[in-house]
Amino acid sequence: MKIRRRNFRKIAEPENFWPSFTDLISTIALVLFFLMLLAYLQNIISGKNLEFAQRQVIDTQRQLEVANAEISQAEKNLRLLMDRLEEVKAEVELGEIALTLSEEQIEEQRQIIAESNRELGDLRMRLTGIALLRLEVLEQVKANVEAELGRRNAAGEELVSIADNGNIVINEGLVFNYNSFAIKPEGRDLLTQLATALERVLDDMSTQTNIDAISIQGHTDSTGSAAYNRDLSTKRATAVVTFMMTENPSLERKYGSYFAASGYSEFRPIATNQTEAGRAQNRRIEIAIILKDDQVRNIIDDYLEDSLEVFNSPRGN
């Protein structure tokens, strides 16, 4: 019995060895499998990471290219701005120069205007002097008549007056009867003194030089037709001129060419024709002193010539 048990143990020992070796091999194989699987997975993950990184690199390169393009455009814009800045600076400098020139021109124009104003004031004074000359002549004639005959007649009527238009006015009633052109006896003294006064005025060469004509004007009221009044006013003016030349032959001999007679009918009233007093004022003889136009023209021409010299003179001298 004992021998059988030993044989049993010897036979059983090899059977326990081989299963352990197999398990070891299986374990090693499993470990290697997992290692390979892990390596494979790592390769896959690394590949994906590499691909992601490559895409990131590409995106970064694109962004860098866009940034470079923006930088280039910014540099270009900056150069344009710098060029424009230089242009603006140049324009500002030119503007400052132009402003300086403008200020100089303004000052020059101011001086020209001041000179023109001075000359214009002188022209105004000279023209005013000519205008006053006519009034002075009439005042002189009026004073001469009043010195001989007084200022008013027995009825208290003013012998001669100076109207707003600068003419000597003789009331028709002092010289003519109503609706007549025959000179009244009391009017003869007045016209005689008037002729003497006019001769004295014309004897003054400084005055005579500026006188072109002495117009004796007849005026009527509106009673009757205009044609009748025109004829009557003309006959009265002519009667005055004829009487003065007849009574003072030297006046006609020396200055007959200065006198003219004209009739204005009813068309230049100085008062209303609706009342008798107004109509009496409208029936009148006026004496107008007509100055020579060439005297005024000469003054104006002299002024214009002086003005042109100012404007045509070289600047900056």
> DSSP string of 165-217?
TS-EEEEHHHHB-TT--SBPHHHHHHHHHHHHHHHHHHH-HHHHTTEEEEEEE
Q: What is the CATH number of the domain that holds 172?
A: 3.30.1330.60
Residue 170 has pLDDT above 70, yes or no: yes
Find, among 191, 189, 173, 154, the residue nearest to 283 by Cα. Answer: 173
260-279 pLDDT, tens digit each: 999 999 999 999 999 999 99
What global pTM score does this model have?
0.56
What pLDDT shows up at residue 49? 72
pLDDT of residue 42: 76
Residue 9 included in any domain? no
pLDDT exceeding 90 applies to what percent of the chain? Answer: 32
Q: Are 202 and 248 in contact (CB under 8 A)?
A: no
pLDDT confidence tier of residue 32, bands split at 50, 70 and 90: confident
Phi, psi of 13 (to 5 degrees): -65, -45
In a domain, 208, yes or no: yes
Residue 105 lies in a domain: no
Share of the chain above pLDDT 70, in %: 81
Determine the distance from the C-alpha atom of residue 208 to the mean position of all C-alpha atoms in its chain, rounded to a whole number. Answer: 43
Residue 307 has pLDDT above 70, yes or no: no
pLDDT digits (tens, 9 = 90+) for 181-200: 999 998 999 999 999 999 99
Q: State yes or no: pLDDT of 4 exceeds 80.
A: no
Structure tokens of 278?
A: 């107004």
- The verdict on residue 168 lying in a domain is yes
Residue 157 makes CB contacts below 8 A (sequence gap 6+) with 171, 173, 174
Residue 243 lies in a domain: yes
Judged by average pLDDT, the poorest of 21-25, 81-85, 281-285, 307-311 is 307-311
Distances (CA, A) of 115 to 58, 185, 199, 311: 83, 59, 42, 11
In a domain, 204, yes or no: yes
Residue 243 belongs to what domain range?
Answer: 134-293
User: DSSP letters along 245-295, please?
Assistant: HHH-HHHHHHHGGGEEEEE-TTSS-SS-SSSHHHHHHHSEEEEEEEEPHHH
- Amino acid 255: pLDDT: 95
Q: What average pLDDT is seen over the chain?
A: 81
Does 303 have pLDDT greater than 80? no
Average pLDDT on 234-254 reads 96
Residue bearing the bigger pLDDT, 109 or 244 = 244
Does 198 reside within a domain?
yes
Domain count, the chain: 1
Is residue 113, in this structure, part of any structural domain at all?
A: no
> Is the confidence at residue 314, as pLDDT, over 80?
no
